[in-house]
Amino acid sequence: MDKDNEKLEVGPVAENLLQSLRAFERAKDYYFQALEELEGEEWANEQYGREVDIFTPVEELIKRRINVAISDWAVKRTPTNTI
């Protein structure tokens, strides 16, 4: 098999999904930093621990979309090098 055919590229869908996951993780970090500035690290840890479940559905949604995109790409009848 030709080496060039083995290289993969990230297409716009995968790129945007991955960027959204990155932005989501940054948003959680910023939120925690805001809590920390508001009342200190100990309080922020307690508060964040109580609220972390609120973030879970969004994170799972993004990760599920990424998994579906990769799975769909993997089983395409006409293989492409762009995910």
* pLDDT, tens digit (0-9, with 9 covering 90-100), for 10-67: 999 999 999 999 999 999 999 999 999 999 999 999 999 999 999 999 999 999 999 9
Judge whether 62 and 76 are in contact, CB under 8 Å: no
CA distances (Å), 48 to each of 14, 25, 29, 51, 61, in order? 29, 14, 10, 5, 20
Question: Domain coordinates of the chain in residue numbers?
Answer: 13-73
Residue 70 pLDDT class (50, 70, 90 cuts): very high
Judge whether 7 and 81 are in contact, CB under 8 Å: yes
* pLDDT, tens digit (0-9, with 9 covering 90-100), for 45-60: 999 999 999 999 999 9
Residue 7 pLDDT class (50, 70, 90 cuts): confident
Judge whether 14 and 66 are in contact, CB under 8 Å: yes
